[in-house]
Structure 1
């Protein structure tokens, strides 16, 4: 967990329970809270002018949600939607900044975390510019697996459907399905009961 639950509660944080489909915040909202996931998953998405969903990330327990926007005066460029029932802890922006002022080590940890996420976003963007679908998909797999402590082969279940992988990579669903089968034959992924393990 990025910041301990007890420390967040000591600064006035509140715990909330959400069901799948609940909206934590919408694109265009003003950031007012620091959000950290205790359990469950949240997706960050955007809809293009044709109404097609683009998933930018799926966040799981222990991760924070768009905390970088608490440091600048910009509105959310994405929606945060509960992907599966979750519990989050939220702390008002002013109290979050006070917590960071009072605890410089946590502030440094947040900076390191933001830097790592930005690094992997650059890698993912670079991979998504590739003409090779396997490079695009492996870029998404590497990005999502980067948040997990267990980096052993096939230890990470990709938390995305084939359609969601298509939305993330700009590929057609049929191309995603073919490429995953190819990656399985090459021994780069395992498919167990329809789930992709990387």
Structure 2
């Protein structure tokens, strides 16, 4: 998103987070913008019963935290290191300075927010579908089409079954059962517990 050199010139710090480490909590003040150098971060809400609602997984060279900063409000999600990761972290004040000095980055940020909103609306429509297979098929197709969370070299789905459940609202048992049926129907391959999408995608 934002070139690392610009972030560093503006005083961004390099931080490391271990898997499971919380970078910020839902309803906390939006004080920083983050950009992932390596590893992954997931953005989630947690229900009163402890269940996790997964909204997004941020991968290398992607950023997060800008929406709450631009809204001058609170973080609406909890950010958790999904793996050991390295990030750049910069204050909201410096983030605004970058937006002011590098006008073309407004377009970059706007495009990112638009893509995320499009995906969120896609997910809302998707989870109202009563067929678990259609939900999974359409979600995996969408991720593959957008080249996100599906390895473009080996076609491996980069989400766990639990994460798919947290993202779709389906039970883990339903995800497992549905994937086994999809494998029987040659819609995906499961090798040693890892899920692979066919090279030509899911019909």
The TM-score with structure 2 as length reference comes to 0.87
> What residue number does 1:18 align with?
17
> What residue number does 2:88 align with?
89
Following superposition, the deviation at residue 80 of structure 1 comes to 0.5
The one-character-per-residue Cα deviations of 1:5-44 (angstroms, maximum 9, x if unpaired) are 1111011111101111111000111111110100001111
Q: Quick check: 1:45–1:54 contact (8 Å CA) kept in 2?
A: yes
Following superposition, the deviation at residue 139 of structure 1 comes to 4.0
Q: How does 1:74-113 map to 2 (within 5 A)?
A: 74-113=73-112
> What residue number does 2:68 align with?
69
Gaps spanning 5+ residues in structure 2: where? 198-203
Q: How does 1:55-66 map to 2 (within 5 A)?
A: 55-66=54-65
Q: From the superposition, tell whether residues 187 and 66 of structure 1 become closer, same or farther in structure 2 (CA, over 3 Å).
A: farther
Gaps spanning 5+ residues in structure 1: where? none
Q: For structure 1, which segment, 167-176 or 89-98, has the greater mean C-alpha deviation from structure 2 after superposition?
A: 167-176
Q: From the superposition, tell whether residues 158 and 100 of structure 1 become closer, same or farther in structure 2 (CA, over 3 Å).
A: same
Q: Quick check: 1:33–1:90 contact (8 Å CA) kept in 2?
A: yes
Following superposition, the deviation at residue 144 of structure 1 comes to 4.1
CA RMSD of aligned residues (A): 2.1
Q: Quick check: 1:128–1:139 contact (8 Å CA) kept in 2?
A: no
- Say which SS state the counterpart of residue 84 (structure 1) adopts: coil
Q: For structure 1, which segment, 10-19 or 133-142, has the greater mean C-alpha deviation from structure 2 after superposition?
A: 133-142
Q: From the superposition, tell whether residues 149 and 137 of structure 1 become closer, same or farther in structure 2 (CA, over 3 Å).
A: closer
The one-character-per-residue Cα deviations of 1:41-92 (angstroms, maximum 9, x if unpaired) are 1111221121212222221111112321111132112110111000000111
C-alpha separation in 2, matches of 1:150 and 1:168 = 15
C-alpha separation in 2, matches of 1:66 and 1:75 = 10
The size of the alignment, in residue pairs, is: 196
C-alpha separation in 1, matches of 2:132 and 2:160 = 16
C-alpha separation in 2, matches of 1:172 and 1:96 = 39
Following superposition, the deviation at residue 189 of structure 1 comes to 2.2
